[in-house]
Structure 1
Amino acid sequence: MDIDRCRALIYAIDTGSLSAAAGKLNITTSGISKMMSTFEHEIGFELLYRNRGGVIPTKKCLDILPSIRQLVEQNEMCDKLVETISEQPQGRIKIGCAHHAYLSWLGDITKEFQKVYSKIEIELIHDYSSNLLKSVENHEVDACIISKREGNHKWIPLYKDELVAWVSENHKLAKKNSISIEQLKKEPFIATHVGEDTDYARIFKKYHIVPNIKQATKDVFVTYTMVEAGVGISVEDSLTAKVWQGKVKCLPIDFPTDIEIGLAYLENENEGLEKVIEYISKSLKKT
């Protein structure tokens, strides 16, 4: 059944006039009259009664009219869907994340995002903040969720965090309300990414803290398990501390250790990246 003829029939019935329907379709009155005659010949019965006042549907036409309307509506919906899909941005987007707490959220968010933008493929990369920002500046990563760093990148703030001290529940400091600078200098310390530009390294440098490093790791989870085993204490952001449930107590540090976490990226005309940034920033600000 020809969709254009179905649409012309609906316009003719709704307006009560072939000329009015022709105007909507931008064709001549004789043109729509010919369409209706061809339609009637095709299905084998009259569709319209014609008189001086215009046109009205026949009884048989009224019987099939709901199905014709549904057919035209579904065709229009299909056309819109095809248009939406064909205009969707596409490509491969690399998103870096420095904070373990955001990794699982990002996984869920990207999964939902790709239900809407199926042509955009998202790759998640984990590293610490300074490394990820360098990757963004070198155009190796498109955007990253990191602790705030200096640079000429665009910045969307997401969350205000702070550093906390990790101590084993059996450690002598576990009963304290907070950890002091002197205790950080004195206690055996487990350092993650020694010599790198980490958040705790920046804070230690600011307050001239030289920790008593006894162990070093390249993975924050390894650090966590060593603290849990009583090997020493460590320092991390409070969000990371919430990722694992073990026998580790998180204590406030008794001097300012504020950290701003946000989304860093470069100015880019990539429509796919713009969609990803908009979706992720709105979603994470709700968490």
Structure 2
Amino acid sequence: MIGAHTARALLDLGHEVVVTTHRRTAVPSFLADRVTVEPLDVTNRDAFLALGDRHAITDIVHLAGSIPQNDPVAYFRTDTTGLLNALDAARTWNVRRFAVASSLGVYIGRPETPWHEDLDLPTTDLPHLIIAYKKAVEPLTTHSLQDTKVQPVILRIGTIWGPLVDPESPFFHIPPYINAALRGETPQPPPRQRRRRRLLRPRRRQSHSPPDNHQNPQPHHLQRFQRPPLHQPGLRRSPPAPHPEPPPRPRPRRPANPPPRHNPPNPRHRLHPHLRHRQGSSRLHNLAHHQPPLARATDAT
């Protein structure tokens, strides 16, 4: 479906389009008599390169893929072989651009919303084989075209809408609901994903023993921050260990022949002359002491 709508968009832009098919040879009605259809198994390298002898191909949009079955290795081998053959054809034909389908699922593990292309791709457990393969497609494509003039284009496709979508696809839950309602059936809930089941598992009982690298499932950089609880039900709490007393300070020794102490001068000697009399024993004594001699003689007579 994505390839059919991509071909129609390229036709609307005025390009000539060659469409490759493997099992189905029929094309949608909006592509009839407008595109050239070539049967091709993308895992066949010789057949892939032979297309360049019949058509002047300037750009490649690689959207071919298979559905995973019980053997994940067989799925990865089939899709990786088709990708490598398409990259080999792009290098041989010296095309301008090579576009390949990735997935929006490569952002799984990022807490930011919405996701955008400036985010670094996280390292996390992926819920599906297709998303795991699409995440590996990006470095394989960019590294394969590094020393060439071919420009790689990564298409991180989010979801698929349109009249050609698979109504029973496990990746889109709304179309199956609508189709079931139109048939008069009761819609079935979507299958629970593996990641969701993991989140619903009961937590293990945490041991109150100190953290151990062999028993604690958490990473080593988090184990050192774990501490046993301060109070455990049913257990007696031991008193805290007493703090050790600091050692006594050594008393300073007095020298055998201490130097003579310097007696500071009497602060009275530094007073102003007019204020010295205030340091005496009484005011009357000071007044009598400072009276002139003539006044003394008059009082005596």
After TM superposition, is the score higher than 0.5? no
Bigger relative contact order (CA 8 A; separation at least 6): 1
More strand by share: 1
